[in-house]
Amino acid sequence: MGLPGQELIIVLDFGGQYSHLIARRIRELKVFCEILPSSTSIEKIREKKPQGLVFSGGPSSIYLDQAPVCDPAIFELGIPVLGIGYGMQLMAGMLGGRVSPKDHGEYGETELITLDSRDVLSALGPVEQCWMGPGDRVESVPPGFVVTARTARTPVAAMAQPDKHIYALQFHPEVIHTARGQDILQDFLYNVCGCRGLWTMASFLEGAIAEIRRQVGSRKVLCALSGGVDSSVAAVMTQKAVGDQLTCVFVDHGLLRRDEAGQVQKTFREKFKINLVFVDARKRFLGKLAGVTDPEQKRKVIGEEFIRVFEDEAAKLGDIDFLVQGTLYPDVVESGTATAAVVKSHHNVGCLPQDMRFELVEPLRWLFKDEVRLLGQEMGLPEEVIWRQPFPGPGMAVRILGEITQEKVDLVQAADAIVEQEIRKAGLYRQIWQSFAVLPDMRSVGVLDGKRTYTHTVVIRAVNSVDAMTADWVRLPYEVLEAISSRIVNEIKEINRVAYDITGKPPATIEWE
């Protein structure tokens, strides 16, 4: 994607765990940033006319046969370049420096000693805290480069060739543990690349609407509307772009939260006056999922069946070629890209059928969740939509382990409703990224009225995140956990045990499947 008239910084992704975070930090400084694979051709980079390039970190070593590289002609474009971690090592190796494997580790928070505070390090004092990444080390810098910072164990923690506007850091300015990291990125963007901070949600909205109009023209459009913030923002944006050409389709696949179908229909018909088609496909989806236990297969079944429902509705409405989805960048990354392995296939990315007849319209594809919420505010969406907790497209299917049955759906919906009610009652709903119930494929022994029971266990999950790429478990107050547990086991007789998930992402994911 690239927006006409926008300043652009390209992050070349070498497979680093922080690549997405670099992009987020740059966007926070009001400069649009696009992540491209490290293998992107020099022609494509030149065509996009970026103001600057950032080489991300990565887990590889430049000595490995399959190590990711970039076109060396990048350094001849005259565009400022900032290398980070692996990006610095690759830069040093490509430009004539000497790189060797580390014989001792320096990972985590470290004192950085500034040797040259010009350009990207201008905001740094003599000693600052930084976050070092593991990997190889630059033993000697390429010709024309100077060493601009070091640590106790890393003689070359930063280097630069100011005349050619090429800079590199062994540490990570994008993580919060680097105290002045955002100042470093700001200096690179504004003082080196000459950016002015033109990217705002208002400017993004204007460009995205223009792109939708260009793509769709005068033809009809279908929108997959779930009622969550992503699809809601995509729907309202598309309506602004093409008006009555849009028809939204809300599919009840039987795996929603309790009473959700009615709430969504009321919101969009009454508040947004959107042309909305409601499809009751509960039996259809549960039939397709019968006997399916593998998590990836569940997602693929649901992803394909959604498309088939939309195709059926498009046939009824006549000649519709486009399908709008609220796909976000984390969906794309976790479903596998040229530089990121598959974590789990999202139903709207990695699970779409090959013979799908729609052309996708995905105006939010390169945004993070918090950016989508800002966009929703820009368009005047109500608070209850903007701040609704994320809900997966496959719904309760990824919160029910093992085979999905109507009984299990009923149980997890009931437990989930209690979780939401108690979280809201405690005034914590807006403070938590996601809170919900999970139904593992297990039972446990309990006691009720002096008699033995052998029934279901429910797990409660509550996490905080910014962009869903990483998450930390929430330290819910004991009284809130007690209220949730007590209500679940007393109100749902088929559940006799409640557990609390205290795992972050990574190593876990937010959802259980």
* 376-410 tens-digit pLDDT: 999 988 888 899 898 988 999 999 999 999 999 99
Beta bridge partners of 252: 280
Q: What is the pLDDT of residue 103?
A: 62
Q: 83 vs 337, which has greater pLDDT?
A: 83
pLDDT of 350: 43
Q: Do the beta carbons of residue 381 and residue 231 sit within 8 Å?
A: no
CATH number at residue 443: 3.30.300.10
Residues 73 and 50: their CA atoms lie apart, in Å, by: 15
Q: How confident is the model at residue 343 (pLDDT cuts 50, 70, 90)?
A: very low
Report which secondary-structure segment, H or E, holds 462: strand 451-464
The reply to whether 366 and 456 lie within a common domain is no
Report the b/e string of 166-204 with b at 16+ CB within 10 A.
bbbbbbbbbbeebbbbbbbbbbbbeebbebeeebebeeb
Residues 180 and 210 in one domain: no
Q: Is residue 1 part of a domain?
A: no
36 part of a folded domain: yes
Phi, psi of 31 (to 5 degrees): -125, 130
Give the end of a domain, one of 164, 192, 220.
192
Give the integer Cα–Cα distance in Å for 20 and 331.
Answer: 12
Which band of pLDDT confidence, cut at 50, 70 and 90, is reported for residue 345? very low
Instruction: Write the CATH number for 294.
Output: 3.40.50.620
pLDDT at 342: 45
d(CA 295, CA 430): 29
Residues 43 and 143 in one domain: yes
Is residue 3's pLDDT more than 70? no
Task: Say if residues 512 and 399 touch (Cβ distance below 8 Å).
Answer: yes
Does residue 505 lie within any of the structural domains?
Answer: no
pLDDT at 101: 80
* Residues 207 and 179 grouped into a single domain: no
H or E element that contains 13? strand 8-13
Domain termination site, one of 159, 175, 192: 192
pLDDT at site 133: 78
Same domain membership, residue 257 and residue 206: yes
Q: Give 443's strand partners.
A: 456
Q: What is the CA radius of gyration of the chain?
A: 25
- Per-position DSSP letters for 123-156, written without gaps between them: T--SEEEEEEPPS-EEEEPPTT-EEEEE-SS-S-
Task: Pick 158 or 382 by higher pLDDT.
Answer: 158
- The owner of tokens 């060739």 is 161
The verdict on 293 and 319 lying in the same domain is yes
Residue 432 structural domain: 405-500
Strand partners, 99: 138
The verdict on 410 and 376 lying in the same domain is no
**Residue 149 resides in a domain:** yes
Q: Are residues 217 and 354 in the same domain?
A: yes
Among 192, 217, 236, residue at a domain's last position: 192
Same-domain status, 154 and 70: yes
Most confident segment among 124-133, 176-185, 483-492, 504-513? 483-492
Query: 239 and 375 share a domain?
Result: yes
DSSP reduced 3-state for 205:
helix
User: What CATH number does residue 61 fall under?
Assistant: 3.40.50.880
The mean per-residue pLDDT over the stretch 434-446 comes to: 96
pLDDT (0 to 100) of residue 369:
84
* Residue 466 included in any domain: yes
CA distance 483 to 350: 38
Higher pLDDT, 445 or 134: 445
* Structure confidence at residue 266 (pLDDT): 85
Neighbours of 346 (CB within 10 A): 23
pLDDT on residue 346 = 41
Single pTM value for the model: 0.73
**What is the number of structural domains in the chain?**
3
Average pLDDT over residues 121-145: 90
Would you say residue 391 lies in a domain?
Answer: no
Q: Give the angle 430-433-434 at the CA atoms, nearest 5°.
A: 105
Answer whether residue 400 is part of any domain: no
Residue type, 505: K
Among 32-36, 155-159, 501-505, whose mean pLDDT is lowest?
Answer: 32-36
| Predicted pLDDT at 111 | 93
- Residue that the structure tokens 């062994």 belong to: 170
268 and 137 in a common domain: no
137 lies in some domain? yes
How many Å from the N-terminal Cα to the C-terminal Cα in the chain? 30
Length of the chain: 513
Are 413 and 379 in the same domain?
A: no
* Two structure tokens written together for 160: 């630069």
Phi, psi of 97 (to 5 degrees): -85, 180
Cα–Cα distance, 53 to 215 (Å, whole number): 28
Give the model confidence (pLDDT) of 254-300 as tens digits: 999 998 888 888 888 887 788 999 999 999 999 999 999 999 999 99
Rounded Cα–Cα distance for residues 294 and 75 (Å): 47
